[in-house]
Amino acid sequence: MKILVIEDERDLRETICASLQKEKFVVESAADFHSAFDKINDYDYDCILLDIMLPGGSGLDLLRELKRLRRSDSVLIISAKDSLDDKVEGLELGADDYLTKPFHLAELNARVKSLIRRRQNNGDVSVKSGNLILWPDKRQAEVEGKVLPLNRKEFDLLYYFVVNPNRVINKMSLAESVWGDNIDQADSLDFIYSQVKNLRKKLKQAGATVEVKAVYGFGYKLSEIDV
């Protein structure tokens, strides 16, 4: 699951990112209005943590942009502004929750997880494709009730495929879904090839009714197997 943290205060931004990464989220960040604007226009996120007061513009304008794009990303406003008017305006523009600074990281993490659960399938935390079921909270996958053994990267890739069914996805998008802003940690995109290869093998061995297909010259897509 991928989260965007939009916060101009460096220490707080890094602390939030580190805390969310410990919870096994893929985390990206933006320190000002313009970089945040570019990110929300280029990528989808499971949850966006949004400060209202930003260098270069207002977080409320970012909410308006999300609304214009008809995006379904969950939004949690994190702001030192505690007036009722700010809360009401943010919620009316599409924010899902509001947390006033200062706050405890445990509460922040709990609210993020709650928003993601609420967003997925009207409160059902499981994600399904064919006879494959994923539980993002537990980072667990099953086929016909049997656990599918996956490492962390394999699970992240499979989750990205399942929430983007029948969509052709290139290697760079897959790498960004797994590493986020830390994509340089990957030795090369060949690592994605090996992970997808292992994932395809495990799905086949488990008897999954979905498979990861290679689309020559473009990337991969998850499709149900014709029977």
Contacts for 180-183: CB closer than 8 Å, 24+ residues apart: 180/2, 180/26, 180/27, 180/28, 181/27, 181/28, 181/29
pLDDT top residue among 87 and 144: 144
What is the average pLDDT across 113-125?
Answer: 69
Task: Show the tokens assigned to 133.
Answer: 């079921």
Of 86-95, 138-147, 174-183, 199-208, least confident by mean pLDDT is 174-183
CATH number of the domain that residue 66 is part of: 3.40.50.2300
Domain match, 70 and 154 both:
no
Domain match, 139 and 172 both:
yes
Domain match, 94 and 200 both:
no
The count of domains in the chain is: 2
Domain match, 16 and 107 both:
yes
Write out the residue range of the structural domain in which residue 55 sits. 2-122
Domain match, 106 and 13 both:
yes
Q: pTM of the prediction?
A: 0.63
- The pLDDT value recorded for residue 209 is 95
Domain match, 77 and 135 both:
no
CATH number of the domain that residue 182 is part of: 1.10.10.10
Backbone conformation region of residue 32, classed left if phi is above 0, alpha if psi is from -120 to 50, else beta: beta
Domain match, 117 and 131 both:
no
Of 122, 155, 179, the residue that ends a domain is: 122
